[in-house]
A and B are shown apart, each in its own frame.
Chain A
Amino acid sequence: MFRSNNIVARIFQRQICTPAPGTSVHCARRFYENLVPSFTIYDVECPDHSFRKFTDDGQYLISFSRNNQDLIVYRPTWLSFSCKEEDCDSHDLPSKARRFESFFTQLYSVSLASCNELICKDFFLYMDSNQYGIFATSTVPSQDAPATGGAIPGFPSIEKMTFHLLRLEDGVILDEKVFHNDFVNLPHNMGVFLYDDLLAIVSLRYQTVHILQIRDSGNLVDVRAIGAYCHEDDELFLNSNAQANFNNYLAFSSISLLFKSNKCMAFPDKSKMHQLPQNHVQNGLHHSQPNLEESFLSGIKQRLLSFIFHRIWNEEKDRTLRVQCLKKKFYFHFQDYVDLIIWKVQFLDRHHLLIKFGSVEGVLYSETVAHRPVLDDVDFSIISKAVFEKSLNASFLALIPQKVVAMEVKDFRPISLLGGIYKIISKVSRNADQHPAFFAVYNMETTEIVAFYQNSAEDLYHLFEQYCDHFHSTSRNSLYMNFISSHSNNIHALEQLRSIKNKATSSSQFVKKMLGSLPFSCQSQSPSPYFDQSLFRFDEKLISATDRHRPSTDHPIKFILRRPPCSLKFKIKLGPEAGSADGRTKKISSFLFHPFLPLALSFQYTSFSQPSVVNIHFRR
């Protein structure tokens, strides 16, 4: 739309040309090519907090105190100063520019966690319609908790976990939701999803998805809990029938079981009665005493099994082959299906959930997203029979002196220099191939499973490739979130995806890797226009819209214009101004970009606790 790169010419042209229909936001965003955060202030003196995020409307900067007990909220302002000289541009900035307070004003500090609790500093959700923020505090998780009350063994248990709803304007805590002896995967919003005003919290330990609604008045209201029961009145129904069962065991049990399984198994439109799966449940009931909790599978599992059953039943027309097909595809894997657990959940719209199921081992040992490098494209499934070479475990033992003058053996510390090969093999051999994951689309209103895919399903990948934005499921209220570049709305991102696809050795591995990012975590991408792929080109490995720690480099990260002339627009340089003297210690960096201002913070850590360098990048 703009013919020249000069900002004044663009402003004049904007007065006379209307953009093509539907592209007014994109045309306005092109002005970000002219206004870039090209100036860097190195090593700003800032308070020792861990800065989490800018809120998505750019109003607040959220940070937590170093001891993870307080929340401190800042408002981004701008450096302002006056200069009486003739030629102000060539002057250096005043010394107050090097202070954090010139750019951010502290609004308040609230203590969220009591003595033995800590704020989870990687968790924060923002509801921009009312400016509410959701934070989580928890006690320390205990690893070996007994699996009581229907809990899945193997998951750690957190004695008390609280979700706080805070009004960010003034820091008033509006409501809280407490979970006891439970486990929710908190880092990077993995176990919680916010859609509009609905909040989905996945309790991994008790295998329940709690749906809560955030009212405008600031209350957290329970809507439903999907897991053991799907409809709201399932529990009432089963308990009232349990009484009748106990009285007249054998006679009533088969009829009421058919009745209950009719309701629980969600037969769609067809009035067929299937004898086979009910025998399973019936046998279970006959063997055990009428403790219906244990003999019934959970509601969501019943829905899933009956969906798989019906799908296989309908695929095969021939009656005789039908049972064979069922045996091969359903009953052979029955125990694997029963052992599946809910792993992660996201909203697709107000009534539909995308649930990822996995095996217990797959969930427990899954790598959290990209904190460590992941081994991709290493396919061990082709090896059917392999024996480990014993010498792989051989290692050197070195004795490191603990004191300057080490005379006795106890002054030495042994370290073993284990080779890298066995670590790679042991990590990859328990990789995802042995524990397939499944995706199910679940309708909360009709409590039916709509679709079920394995994580290597091509048709789910086609939907993901075409409609990626709908998987990100942004609420309709937030305008800016709809313009985050993804491969469904941006040709450059799509080309990148195609190049990865062409380079992939096996298509099922590629599909699994791509679908491994589903379900998406909520609010994990920055809406800053500097990450818009159609405006700028940048190195995805060093910086991107997803907020996660990356290995840092001494070279500045370049942002190059996409459109001709493809010139370098601005650079983000991390290290201290003169370049770091010590090139060998590995540094990790993270970035916080303001949603719409040309303002960015960059952090560089040498160890995981304190940032060593904080830089501010802004437009001078």
Chain B
Amino acid sequence: MGSLFGDWPSFDPHNFSQLQPSDPSSPSRMTPATYHPTHSRTLPPPDQVITTDAKNILLRHIYQRAEEKDLRPKRAAPEHLVPEHGCKQPRASSSSC
């Protein structure tokens, strides 16, 4: 087998001695694993175009809050009007920055 490093200088030539290098005459078939989808539910629609929202983020938040307030009465009445429930994104809190 010979030393793995050949003539290269090494600190300890017995390092890596347990490693069995692959024989170059029979290369192992190390192809990366590929995954094939089993369903097509998550395919994007063929005419989908992804663009940046032209509205700036401040206005997006303002509109979102306005819609949240409009949506509130559609839930059942016994649930008290606590704004934190049902928010998709965490409320702006002082800890996040």
Q: Which residues of the partner chain B approach A466 to less than 8 Å between Cβ atoms?
A: 92, 97
Say yes or no: is B81 at the interface (Cβ < 8 Å to chain A): yes
Set A311, A314, A318, A462: member contacting B77, Cβ < 8 A: A318
B62 touches A441 (CB 8 A): yes
B77 touches A463 (CB 8 A): no
Mark out the residues of chain A between 436 and 467 whose CB falls within 8 Å of any chain B CB in the assembled complex.
441, 450-451, 459, 462-463, 465-467
Q: Which residues of the partner chain A approach B58 to less than 8 Å between Cβ atoms?
A: 348, 463, 467, 470-471
Given A317-B77, A450-B66, residue A467 in contact with residue B97 (CB < 8 A): no
Say yes or no: is B65 at the interface (Cβ < 8 Å to chain A): yes
Say yes or no: is B33 at the interface (Cβ < 8 Å to chain A): no
In the bound complex, what is the Cα–Cα distance between A451 and B67 (angstroms)?
10
B66 touches A314 (CB 8 A): no
B73 touches A315 (CB 8 A): yes
Say yes or no: is A210 at the interface (Cβ < 8 Å to chain B): no
B66 touches A451 (CB 8 A): yes
Query: Chain B: how many interface residues by the 8 Å CB criterion?
Result: 21
Say yes or no: is B61 at the interface (Cβ < 8 Å to chain A): yes
Say yes or no: is B55 at the interface (Cβ < 8 Å to chain A): yes
B63 touches A494 (CB 8 A): no
Task: Across the interface, name the chain B residue whose C-beta is closest to A467.
Answer: B58
Q: Which residues of the partner chain B approach A352 to less than 8 Å between Cβ atoms?
A: 59
B73 touches A314 (CB 8 A): yes
Q: Which residues of the partner chain A approach B61 to less than 8 Å between Cβ atoms?
A: 463, 467
B56 touches A451 (CB 8 A): no
Say yes or no: is A101 at the interface (Cβ < 8 Å to chain B): no
Given A349-B56, A467-B57, A470-B56, residue A450 in contact with residue B73 (CB < 8 A): no
In the bound complex, what is the Cα–Cα distance between A311 and B69 (angstroms)?
8
CB distance from A274 to the nearest CB of B (A): 16
Given A348-B59, A450-B62, residue A315 in contact with residue B81 (CB < 8 A): yes
In the bound complex, what is the Cα–Cα distance between A471 and B57 (angstroms)?
11
Say yes or no: is B70 at the interface (Cβ < 8 Å to chain A): yes
Contact with B along A299-327 (1 / 0, CB 8 A): 00000000000010011111000000000
Q: Which residues of the partner chain A approach B81 to less than 8 Å between Cβ atoms?
A: 315
Task: Across the interface, name the chain A residue whose C-beta is closest to B76.
Answer: A317
Task: Across the interface, name the chain A residue whose C-beta is closest to B75.
Answer: A317
Q: Which residues of the partner chain B approach A465 to less than 8 Å between Cβ atoms?
A: 92, 94
In the bound complex, what is the Cα–Cα distance between A348 and B57 (angstroms)?
11
CB distance from B47 to the nearest CB of A (A): 27
Set B65, B70, B73: member contacting A459, Cβ < 8 A: B65
Given A311-B69, A459-B65, residue A470 in contact with residue B57 (CB < 8 A): yes
A349 touches B65 (CB 8 A): no
In the bound complex, what is the Cα–Cα distance between A467 and B93 (angstroms)?
13
In the bound complex, what is the Cα–Cα distance between A465 and B93 (angstroms)?
10
B70 touches A314 (CB 8 A): yes
In the bound complex, what is the Cα–Cα distance between A281 and B5 (angstroms)?
95
A349 touches B63 (CB 8 A): no
Given A317-B77, A467-B58, residue A462 in contact with residue B70 (CB < 8 A): no
A451 touches B73 (CB 8 A): no
Task: Across the interface, name the chain B residue whose C-beta is closest to A488.
Answer: B97
Q: Which residues of the partner chain B approach A349 to less than 8 Å between Cβ atoms?
A: 55-56, 59
CB distance from B91 to the nearest CB of A (A): 8
In the bound complex, what is the Cα–Cα distance between A352 and B63 (angstroms)?
12
Mark out the residues of chain B between 29 and 81 whose CB falls within 8 Å of any chain A CB in the assembled complex.
55-59, 61-63, 65-66, 69-70, 72-73, 77, 81
In the bound complex, what is the Cα–Cα distance between A465 and B96 (angstroms)?
11
Q: Which residues of the partner chain A approach B70 to less than 8 Å between Cβ atoms?
A: 314
Mark out the residues of chain A between 147 and 164 whose CB falls within 8 Å of any chain B CB in the assembled complex.
none
CB distance from A90 to the nearest CB of B (A): 49
Q: Which residues of the partner chain A approach B56 to less than 8 Å between Cβ atoms?
A: 348-349, 470
In the bound complex, what is the Cα–Cα distance between A494 and B57 (angstroms)?
19
Q: Which residues of the partner chain B approach A459 to less than 8 Å between Cβ atoms?
A: 65, 92
Given A315-B73, A451-B66, residue A463 in contact with residue B92 (CB < 8 A): yes
Q: Which residues of the partner chain B approach A471 to less than 8 Å between Cβ atoms?
A: 58
Mark out the residues of chain A between 563 and 595 whose CB falls within 8 Å of any chain B CB in the assembled complex.
none
A317 touches B73 (CB 8 A): yes
Task: Across the interface, name the chain A residue whose C-beta is closest to B63.
Answer: A450
Task: Across the interface, name the chain A residue whose C-beta is closest to B62.
Answer: A451
Q: Which residues of the partner chain B approach A348 to less than 8 Å between Cβ atoms?
A: 56, 58-59
In the bound complex, what is the Cα–Cα distance between A314 and B81 (angstroms)?
12
Contact with B along A536-566 (1 / 0, CB 8 A): 0000000000000000000000000000000
Contact with B along A461-482 (1 / 0, CB 8 A): 0110111001100000000000
Q: Which residues of the partner chain B approach A467 to less than 8 Å between Cβ atoms?
A: 57-58, 61
Set B72, B77, B97: member contacting A494, Cβ < 8 A: B97
In the bound complex, what is the Cα–Cα distance between A441 and B64 (angstroms)?
13
In the bound complex, what is the Cα–Cα distance between A181 and B97 (angstroms)?
48
A315 touches B69 (CB 8 A): yes
In the bound complex, what is the Cα–Cα distance between A494 and B72 (angstroms)?
33
Q: Which residues of the partner chain B approach A314 to less than 8 Å between Cβ atoms?
A: 69-70, 72-73
Q: Which residues of the partner chain B approach A470 to less than 8 Å between Cβ atoms?
A: 56-59
Which of B59, B61, B63, B81 neighbours the largest number of chain A CB atoms within 10 Å of its CB?
B59
CB distance from A585 to the nearest CB of B (A): 44
In the bound complex, what is the Cα–Cα distance between A2 and B61 (angstroms)?
37
Q: Which residues of the partner chain B approach A450 to less than 8 Å between Cβ atoms?
A: 59, 62-63, 66
Q: Which residues of the partner chain B approach A318 to less than 8 Å between Cβ atoms?
A: 77
A315 touches B55 (CB 8 A): no
Q: Which residues of the partner chain A approach B55 to less than 8 Å between Cβ atoms?
A: 349
Q: Which residues of the partner chain B approach A311 to less than 8 Å between Cβ atoms?
A: 69
Mark out the residues of chain A between 493 and 511 whose CB falls within 8 Å of any chain B CB in the assembled complex.
494
Task: Across the interface, name the chain B residue whose C-beta is closest to A318.
Answer: B77
B69 touches A463 (CB 8 A): no
Q: Which residues of the partner chain B approach A462 to less than 8 Å between Cβ atoms?
A: 91-93
Q: Which residues of the partner chain A approach B69 to less than 8 Å between Cβ atoms?
A: 311, 314-315
Task: Across the interface, name the chain B residue whose C-beta is closest to A471.
Answer: B58
In the bound complex, what is the Cα–Cα distance between A349 and B58 (angstroms)?
10
Listed A/B pairs (9) with beta-carbon separation below 8 Å: A314-B69, A317-B73, A348-B58, A441-B62, A450-B59, A463-B61, A465-B92, A465-B94, A470-B59
Given contacts A318-B77, A349-B55, A462-B92, 15 further A-B contacts (CB under 8 A): A311-B69, A314-B69, A314-B72, A315-B69, A316-B73, A348-B59, A349-B56, A441-B62, A450-B62, A462-B93, A463-B58, A463-B62, A465-B92, A467-B57, A470-B56
